[in-house]
Chain A
Amino acid sequence: MSNIKTSEGKITFNKTEYVLQNFTNDSGESVSYAIVSDSQVHIGTDKGIILFDLSCTINKETFTDINLFTAALY
């Protein structure tokens, strides 16, 4: 199980640091994330849009709800 470590406006995953930032979704809106499915979310970063899912922990904490999972990233 891979862990995501959060810090001020940043996350670290697989030894790579990502700066969280908005992206433009297909409706033309500037968003910071987009829920893809019940277990997956697209997160906007300085290295593109990254897919995370509930198989990841956040700061070693496990989640079963994608909305709570996403909230814990910010």
Chain B
Amino acid sequence: MANKKISQLTAKGTALAATDLVEISESDGAGGYVTKSVTGANVKSGLQATLVSATNIKTINSNTILGSGNLVIAGGQIVPAVSNTIGTTITGLTNAISDSFLLPANTFSSNCQIELQWYPSRIVGTSGTTQGLVYINSTNSLTGATLVATGINLSNTGVSNITCRRTIQVRSNVGTLMSTTNQASSDFSTTQPTENLPFNNSSDIYFLFVMNNLTNVLLQSRNVGYRLVGYNL
């Protein structure tokens, strides 16, 4: 090898074997180097072995995750909105927004299932009733908004809360759910369906939580929380 350039050496032509020797210059820690050899096994020691699906890298539902590109996980739960504040207090005979959130465009596909929970609260009033309603709209405004759900009447004197829930089955951007005008806390009981609710998440959708105070000008109410989860199909 003396007086030969590396480019002049005979090419090995195969992968480095464990017993092959490679010449190295080992630092002596003082600015100098000592010529030594290491084996092919030394060079490969500590390196990640070639990935083999289901052997040294797991699979997802028996599908390999090797390769380039994006892996879309169908059917995974999406939780786009959970409230972290309490809604605005609504006072008197009115139907007004207490809280809202924006569901950004394309969070859900044209075929999906979503489950909405909201928590209306009556906080002041010795008579009259209040309801927690939900609307959707393309803006954060009630004008032109579409009714999604009517919560059950809260008529107990003073403070009372209720958990309300709806499931919406969306197919080709049209939702089916229980009757939007039916006063109910949940959709676990049999009711007439609403089958024409537009739900096209190719654009932004605002969810509006509205308190509707009835028959008592002194009523105060608010929406104290919400949660939206869903699944793309």
Within 8 Å by CB of A24, from B135, B144, B181, B183, lies B181
Which residues from 12 to 65 on chain A have a C-beta closer than 8 Å to any C-beta of chain B?
13-14, 23-26, 34, 36-38, 40, 42, 46-53, 55-56
A67 part of interface (Cβ distance < 8 Å)? no
Within 8 Å by CB of A13, from B142, B144, B150, B182, lies B144
Which residues from 178 to 192 on chain B have a C-beta closer than 8 Å to any C-beta of chain A?
179-183, 192
Chain A interface main SS type: strand
Asked if A47 contacts B198 (CB within 8 A), the reply is yes
A7 part of interface (Cβ distance < 8 Å)? no
Q: Whole-angstrom distance from the CB of A3 to the nearest CB of chain B?
A: 11
Asked if A48 contacts B143 (CB within 8 A), the reply is no
Q: Report the count of interface residues on A (CB-CB < 8 A).
A: 23
Asked if A47 contacts B143 (CB within 8 A), the reply is no
Bound-state Cα–Cα, A51 to B142, Å: 7
Q: Whole-angstrom distance from the CB of B194 to the nearest CB of chain A?
A: 7
B212 part of interface (Cβ distance < 8 Å)? yes
Bound-state Cα–Cα, A42 to B150, Å: 12
Bound-state Cα–Cα, A64 to B95, Å: 17
Bound-state Cα–Cα, A23 to B138, Å: 23
Asked if B93 contacts A50 (CB within 8 A), the reply is no
Asked if A42 contacts B143 (CB within 8 A), the reply is no
On chain B, the residues within 8 Å of A49 by CB distance are 146-147, 180-181
> CB-CB contacts of B165-181 with A at 8 A, as 1s and 0s?
00000000000000111
Knowing A37-B93, A37-B94, A40-B95, say if A51 contacts B144 (CB, 8 Å). Answer: yes
Bound-state Cα–Cα, A42 to B148, Å: 12
Which residues from 112 to 135 on chain B have a C-beta closer than 8 Å to any C-beta of chain A?
135
Within 8 Å by CB of B192, from A24, A52, A56, lies A24
Bound-state Cα–Cα, A2 to B95, Å: 19
On chain B, the residues within 8 Å of A46 by CB distance are 196
Asked if A26 contacts B181 (CB within 8 A), the reply is yes
Bound-state Cα–Cα, A13 to B144, Å: 8
25 CB contacts below 8 A, A to B, read A24-B181, A26-B181, A34-B181, A36-B212, A37-B94, A42-B147, A47-B196, A47-B197, A48-B146, A48-B194, A48-B196, A48-B197, A50-B146, A50-B147, A51-B135, A51-B143, A51-B145, A51-B146, A51-B147, A52-B143, A52-B144, A53-B142, A53-B143, A55-B143, A56-B143
